Amino acid sequence: MRARGIEMASKDCVKVAVRVRPFNKRERDAGSRCVISMTSNNISIQDPHNQQNSRTFTFDYAYWSHSGFTRNKDGLFVPQETGGRYADQASVFQDLGQSILDNALQGYNATLLAYGQTGSGKSYSMVGYGPNKGLIPTLCEKLFQFIRSTQDSRQCQVFFSMLEIYNEQVIDLLSKASRSVCGLRVREDQQRGFYVEGLRRVPCDSAVQVEQLMEQGTRTRTTAATHMNANSSRSHMLIIVQLKQIFSKECITKQSNINLVDLAGSERQRSSGSEADRLKEGTAINLSLTTLGNVISALADMALGKKVVHIPYRDSVLTKLLQSALGGNSRTVMIATLSPADMCYEESLSTLRYAERAKRIQNKAVVNESPTERLVKELKAENAKLLLRLSRLGQEGHKADDESKELRRLLTHNELQIRAIQTLWEQHLQEALKDWETQYATMTQERRMMQMHPYIMNINEDAQLSGVVKLFIQEGDWDIGLADNSPRALSVRGLGIQEKHAVFSNQQRRISITPVLGSKVIVNGMPVSKRTELQHLDRLILGSNSTYLFIGFPSERSVDDWSRYDYDYFQSELAAAEGIHIQSLCDNQGPNQSDPSLLAVFYDYVKLMPMVTEANQMSKELKKGVEFKLEIKNLAMSDSKGHDLEKEIAVRVTSMERKQVWMWSKAKFVNRKFLMEEVYQQQVVGGEGADRAPLPMDRDPFWDPLEPLHLGSAHLWLQSLAFRIPLEEQVEVVGPEGTEEAILQAQLVPCNPTGLPLGEDDILIDPSELLGKRLDFQLVLDQCCGLRWIKEARNRGVQVGFQVFDCPQSLYTPSVWHNVNPLLDHRVQFTALRTSQELLNYLQSNALVLELWGLQEGCSELVPCMDGVKTKQEDSIIIDKIGTSEHSATETVGSDLSASLRALHQDLEQLRNTNAALSKENSALKEQLNSARIGEHCLISHMQ
């Protein structure tokens, strides 16, 4: 259909709305603070780490759905008092939905996108939960209301499609046929632009029918997610409503496409971008979302008048399908959803920035209209002519029998064609309705079963998909597992689920589960191996991570709120059973003092736990021989002030056979797991077989080149250097989880420029005397004892690394191998030519962090890069350049060596003089000190 005159085109900016949801249970439990505030269309976000740091944005609409609401008797969330600020579903529809509908009815294409991190309320806004219907169902309802009530002569046809983009594959959610591995194809057409080939378009004439279709689509999503072991937060859901309006009097047809898009969670995109990985999964994980970001940025730049050469629409499936919605022929609205909690600050800020860019995009929407059904008109005209000729022939007698026959044939043919066009729509509609009736019957049947029998229902990470699958446990014994070939089998699929996994038994109104030997069944967080009776609302995990809630007999059910048993609940329960509580992480902080970053670590842990279980299962089935384990890294390890606040999640990967170890960051693991799923799907689900076609090493997500591993750190406090007192210590090297990795014997030796240790006489009472003077000291690493790393496997080695003050690079000892107690015998001298206040402060309050690095066979060693580290006489390493450069910027240049030497001599002279003066004072003080100690001693013994 051609768009009417381009002169009608006007520039429409993408309209942007933001919405902030209430706290969820876990945020409430954690005592979260709300970092979002709103006044009219302005929204401010406050940095929880820095109260002064707040940013304000302005959008077309800002919806406060965080507080001030109540649940009415129909279960609707509404403002507590009339006129309250709470934005309910109806008021969001009033602005956004209505304008989409109005635009569509005028013949414009219209698009509504929901963007935000997982769990921020995209689906709540778009689809809704229970009675709180979202924009899509309400829009359809209003559309059909309009169609029924309109008085003019227009005829409307509505087609409904629903699809999902996962890992660049298009899945038709309304058709069983397209659920093949590779999905549907996206094609390009001169007139239509990009479209999905063979996508099912269901003719619709009521809102109830649409709701039913959405339910059907969600069911397909849920089974796809469990079968393919896919994560729905990584997929985009698109609903396309095509509206065709035929104005028969005016002989005009208007057609518009309404795209309703619930985008994938925005969070992983960046976390993966932050880290380079040879497998480049950052883009693979959600090419569509990344490309959408790039398209939006390019269009926003263009709107600002910047020169933009290329807009990468073609780089992903999603952006192809949304081309007209972004910078094209569409009126587009974006709703950006936010979590209010302090621990989501970074994500929320990034969502706001994204939305800010989107609002600059300009579209050129035009009304899509064309003369109506030219074909019908032409056929009618032709018929009239034929009839005329026929009547003339009749008058001329019977001579032209043949011609008349031919004419009659043509006439009937034309008549039929006209009728066909008119009835086609009705026919389609009838078929769709019939289809719908069978669907409806299945659903009514399911509702009846729910009223009669106990059942288990799926609980998904994505609340939209929870409760979609229900398996009824009728009287008798029921096998549960992959197998579905017997009438007494309940089929469940998922990672780690066996052919026959467990047996449900319903005897004398008691329900129990008995795991089959070797299969994994967890009830309320605890693994079970024997027959276990189930109570109403028990939590069940089958295999790696298939989560179900048990619903008992109707008589046992009360008005429970089942929604509290969400996915988080299952995982927290499991973590608690493993001894991981939020309290144990916050121990050092006192009660009710929840640091948002610490909470974030806890939830990361809980979130990664099932993913690690799944990765282990995939590794097992694919015979990869690697094992994954979650660790909470204490970042205090690497902090030279020894603060014990920051913690981070990491995944330890061990190849069992060769005892090789890798540490992956959370982002890397999440991305790698995505790639593992892909491999798993090809080889196991896709039937290639785990043994066939092993992946080349460089494409295998389970494998990485070996790198030195940070085993732990020890702290050597520097304070004694400020007094020029030597220090000899045995320090404990502590691993990320608090384990003792080794004991390190180390010394700090104040010395003269040639490396001779200073004597007692050189000890300072007041460290500030060092200011502006030269300071030399040596770090001596004597020996490493009791290396756990080597005890575990003898074919390993270690190196010790350290970084002093402003020295730009870390330095490392040479490697030592195969020895649990290796001698290091490593000595380095450091020199500050003119000690600055900064260095002095550093010495007095910081420790030298000695990092223990583990080496494995075949991995490269750590080499100190000496570029930029000045070495001078006696190979001393110059530190404290701040102090040095302030006074003599030229000192670094070789030709000025003599000048610096002279300065050094002067320093030395000065030093000697002061020393002499001080040593007198020193001995006096020492005496005083001694007498004080004796006094103290007396006091203590007196108290005892």
Residues that bind ligand ADP (CB under 6 A): 21-22, 24, 65, 77, 116, 118-124, 129, 233, 265, 337, 463-464
With CB under 5 A as the contact rule, which of the stretches 115-123, 515-523, 789-797, 849-857 interacts with Mg ion?
115-123
Q: How far is the CB of 336 from Mg ion (least distance, A)?
A: 14
Question: Is residue 125 within 8 Å of residue 134, measured between CB atoms?
Answer: yes
Nearest residue to ligand ADP, scored by beta-carbon proximity:
121
Angstrom distances, CA of residue 533 to CA of 570, 696, 769: 18, 48, 77
Q: Which is nearer to ligand ADP, 76 or 859 (CB)?
A: 76
Q: Which is nearer to ligand ADP, 116 or 454 (CB)?
A: 116
CA 353 to chain centre: 17
SS3 86: coil
Q: How far is the CB of 879 from ligand ADP (least distance, A)?
A: 50
| Residue located via tokens 């089974």 | 223
Query: 255 touches which of ligand ADP, Mg ion, none (CB within 5 to 8 A by kind)?
Result: none
Is residue 120 involved in binding Mg ion (CB under 5 A)? no
Pairwise CA distance, residues 900 & 886, whole Å: 14
Q: How far is the CB of 237 from Mg ion (least distance, A)?
A: 8
Q: How far is the CB of 462 from Mg ion (least distance, A)?
A: 5
| Residue located via tokens 């056929």 | 379
Q: Return the axis-axis angle of helices 596-621 and 666-680, rounded to nearest 10°.
A: 30
With CB under 5 A as the contact rule, which of the stretches 117-125, 427-435, 483-491, 523-531 interacts with Mg ion?
117-125
Q: Which is nearer to Mg ion, 130 or 894 (CB)?
A: 130
The footprint of Mg ion on residues 672-711 (CB under 5 A) is none
Pairwise CA distance, residues 572 & 602, whole Å: 10
Q: How far is the CB of 288 from ligand ADP (least distance, A)?
A: 16
Pairwise CA distance, residues 491 & 501, whole Å: 10
DSSP 563-603: GGS-HHHHHHHHHHHTT--HHHHSGGG-TT---HHHHHHHH
Query: 797 touches which of Mg ion, ligand ADP, none (CB within 5 to 8 A by kind)?
Result: none
The footprint of Mg ion on residues 316-375 (CB under 5 A) is none
Q: Which is nearer to ligand ADP, 193 or 467 (CB)?
A: 467
Q: How far is the CB of 464 from Mg ion (least distance, A)?
A: 5
Torsion of CA 63, 67, 72, 78, to 10 degrees: -20
Query: 463 touches which of ligand ADP, Mg ion, none (CB within 5 to 8 A by kind)?
Result: ligand ADP
Query: 552 touches which of Mg ion, ligand ADP, none (CB within 5 to 8 A by kind)?
Result: none
Residue 348 makes CB contacts below 8 A (sequence gap 6+) with 35, 36, 45, 117, 120, 338, 339, 340
Pairwise CA distance, residues 213 & 236, whole Å: 17
Nearest residue to Mg ion, scored by beta-carbon proximity:
123
Q: Which is nearer to ligand ADP, 172 or 347 (CB)?
A: 347
Q: Which is nearer to ligand ADP, 24 or 255 (CB)?
A: 24
Residue from 24, 123, 368, 545 in contact with Mg ion (CB under 5 A): 123
Query: 915 touches which of ligand ADP, Mg ion, none (CB within 5 to 8 A by kind)?
Result: none
With CB under 5 A as the contact rule, which of the stretches 85-93, 118-126, 441-449, 926-934 interacts with Mg ion?
118-126
Q: How far is the CB of 490 from ligand ADP (least distance, A)?
A: 27
Query: 24 touches which of ligand ADP, Mg ion, none (CB within 5 to 8 A by kind)?
Result: ligand ADP
Q: Which is nearer to ligand ADP, 136 or 513 (CB)?
A: 136
DSSP 618-678: HHHHTT--EEEEEEEEEGGGG-TT-----EEEEEEEEETTTTEEEEEEHHHHHHHHHHHHH
Rounded (5°) CA angle 465-470-476: 160
Q: In the chain, what's the furthest Cα-to-Cα distance? A: 148
Q: Which is nearer to ligand ADP, 129 or 472 (CB)?
A: 129
H-run or E-run covering 550:
strand 546-551
Q: How far is the CB of 234 from ligand ADP (least distance, A)?
A: 11
Q: Which is nearer to Mg ion, 123 or 900 (CB)?
A: 123
Q: How far is the CB of 718 from ligand ADP (least distance, A)?
A: 49
Query: 440 touches which of ligand ADP, Mg ion, none (CB within 5 to 8 A by kind)?
Result: none
Q: How far is the CB of 18 from ligand ADP (least distance, A)?
A: 12
Computed on alpha carbons and rounded to an integer, the radius of gyration of the chain in Å comes to 37
Q: Which is nearer to ligand ADP, 24 or 286 (CB)?
A: 24
E strands, 327-420, are 331-338, 362-365, 369-371
Q: How far is the CB of 467 from Mg ion (least distance, A)?
A: 14
Q: How far is the CB of 463 from ligand ADP (least distance, A)?
A: 4
User: 3-class secondary structure for 455-496?
Assistant: EEEECCCCHHHCCCCEEECCCEEEEEECCCCCCCEEECCCCC
Question: Is residue 523 within 8 Å of residue 534, measured between CB atoms?
Answer: yes
Q: Which is nearer to Mg ion, 122 or 796 (CB)?
A: 122
Query: 801 touches which of Mg ion, ligand ADP, none (CB within 5 to 8 A by kind)?
Result: none
Q: How far is the CB of 262 from Mg ion (least distance, A)?
A: 6
The one-character DSSP state at 23 is P
Q: Which is nearer to ligand ADP, 241 or 344 (CB)?
A: 344
**Assigned token pair, 813:** 């000892």
Query: 121 touches which of Mg ion, ligand ADP, none (CB within 5 to 8 A by kind)?
Result: ligand ADP
Q: How many residues sit close enough to Mg ion to count as binding (CB under 5 A)?
A: 2
Pairwise CA distance, residues 239 & 696, whole Å: 39
Exposure on the CB side of residue 857, measured as CA atoms within 13 A: 9
DSSP 870-884: -B-GGGPEEE-HHHH
Question: Is residue 820 within 8 Å of residue 790, measured between CB atoms?
Answer: yes
| Residue located via tokens 């509504």 | 112
Q: Which is nearer to ligand ADP, 136 or 733 (CB)?
A: 136
Query: 351 touches which of ligand ADP, Mg ion, none (CB within 5 to 8 A by kind)?
Result: none
Task: Please give the order of strands across the beta sheet that includes 532-533.
Answer: 489-491, 476-481, 502-507, 510-515, 532-533
Query: 129 touches which of Mg ion, ligand ADP, none (CB within 5 to 8 A by kind)?
Result: ligand ADP
Q: Which is nearer to Mg ion, 261 or 311 (CB)?
A: 261
Q: Which is nearer to ligand ADP, 123 or 720 (CB)?
A: 123
**Assigned token pair, 488:** 């007494």
With CB under 5 A as the contact rule, which of the stretches 57-65, 122-130, 394-402, 702-710 interacts with Mg ion?
122-130
Query: 550 touches which of ligand ADP, Mg ion, none (CB within 5 to 8 A by kind)?
Result: none
Give the interface with Mg ion as residue ranges (CB under 5 A).
122-123
